[in-house]
């Protein structure tokens, strides 16, 4: 199956280790993220599987500028003419196609190993032109409203996207959902990454999608609060101790 329904109006496009998401709006299709290089065919298959044509893809919004999220972007834009969106801090990387900023592994042996296998700062992808920089706090007038939250740490230009009509959060790589909510493979800045995980507990949403791992279809914000509440208490303790 090229695409799997998450909630009404959203399909996950599974591309091996990385996910992209298709949102069906009155204004056409929106794609969140663009997978590793060479995955454009999977996206077009998914679009056709929904009974649409690639030309109906109007918007391509990136959660951040890593090779597994922008890799097939240039090929997708060439075929669809979709308008592209990315946070300004990652725009130079997308428009040059790399190299990427170094990504120190997240705590733990497993992530140290996986980060080395999956992330190569010197990797190059086809450069993609970004049409519109994303601004923290803005609500894009796309598919009924997509709210932008800046969540740096894993990647300086990372954003989380909340699709308001469906109450679904696209968390990018703030965390992944492989055997439960867990850290991404690496953090450019661990402290910022932790702050971003906590930041998402303040948002209200029912479903959540991740760059890696299974989407959550309901009670997702409760799962986030349960997982990152400890962090929250740590912060309160740090503050009251100060």
Q: Which residue is nearest to Zn ion (CB)?
A: 66
> Smallest distance from the beta carbon of 184 to Zn ion, in angstroms?
6
User: Does residue 162 touch Zn ion according to CB under 5 A?
Assistant: no
Among 39, 59, 66, 198, binds Zn ion (CB under 5 A): 66
User: Does residue 173 touch Zn ion according to CB under 5 A?
Assistant: yes
> Smallest distance from the beta carbon of 49 to Zn ion, in angstroms?
23
Q: Considering beta carbons, is residue 66 or 87 the nearer one to Zn ion?
A: 66
> Smallest distance from the beta carbon of 53 to Zn ion, in angstroms?
28
User: Does residue 211 touch Zn ion according to CB under 5 A?
Assistant: yes
Q: Considering beta carbons, is residue 25 or 40 the nearer one to Zn ion?
A: 40
Q: Considering beta carbons, is residue 101 or 225 the nearer one to Zn ion?
A: 101
Q: Considering beta carbons, is residue 25 or 216 the nearer one to Zn ion?
A: 216
> Smallest distance from the beta carbon of 124 to Zn ion, in angstroms?
16
Residue with the two structure tokens 């990136």 = 62
> Smallest distance from the beta carbon of 158 to Zn ion, in angstroms?
7
> What is the SS3 string spanning the chain?
CCCEEEECCEEEEEECCEEEEEEEECCEEEEECCCCCCCHHHHHHHHHHCCCCHHHEEEEECCCCCHHHHCCHHHHHHHHCCEEEECHHHHHHHHHCCCCCCCCECCCHHHHHHHHHHCCCCCCCCCCCCCEECCCCCEECCCCCEEEEECCCCCCCCEEEEECCCCEEECCCCCEECCCEECCCECCCHHHHHHHHHHHCCCCCCEEECCCECCECCCHHHHHHHHHHHHHHHHHHHHHHC
User: Does residue 68 touch Zn ion according to CB under 5 A?
Assistant: yes
Q: Considering beta carbons, is residue 25 or 197 the nearer one to Zn ion?
A: 197
> Which residues here bind Zn ion, judged by CB under 5 A?
66, 68, 173, 211
């Amino acid at each position: 199956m090229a695409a799997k329904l998450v909630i009404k109006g959203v399909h996950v496009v599974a591309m091996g280790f990385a996910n992209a998401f298709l949102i069906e709006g009155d204004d056409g299709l929106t794609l969140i993220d663009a997978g590793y290089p060479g995955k454009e065919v999977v996206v077009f298959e998914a679009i056709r599987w929904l009974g649409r044509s690639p030309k109906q893809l109007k918007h391509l919004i990136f959660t951040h500028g890593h090779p597994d999220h922008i890799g097939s972007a240039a090929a997708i834009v060439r075929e669809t003419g979709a308008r592209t969106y990315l946070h300004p801090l990652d725009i130079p990387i997308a428009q040059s196609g790399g190299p990427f900023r170094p990504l120190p592994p997240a705590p733990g042996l497993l992530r140290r190993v996986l980060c080395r296998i999956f992330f190569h700062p010197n990797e190059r992808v086809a450069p993609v032109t970004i049409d519109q920089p994303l601004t923290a706090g803005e609500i894009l007038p796309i598919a009924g409203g997509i709210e932008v939250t800046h969540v740096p740490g894993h990647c300086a230009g990372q954003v989380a996207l909340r699709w308001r009509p469906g109450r679904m959060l696209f968390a990018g790589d703030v965390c992944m959902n492989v055997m439960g909510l867990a850290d991404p493979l690496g953090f450019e800045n661990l402290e910022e990454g932790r702050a971003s995980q906590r930041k998402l507990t303040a948002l209200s949403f029912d479903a959540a999608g991740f760059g890696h791992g299974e989407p959550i279809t309901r009670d997702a914000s409760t799962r986030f609060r349960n997982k990152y509440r400890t962090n929250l208490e740590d912060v309160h303790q740090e503050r009251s101790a100060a």
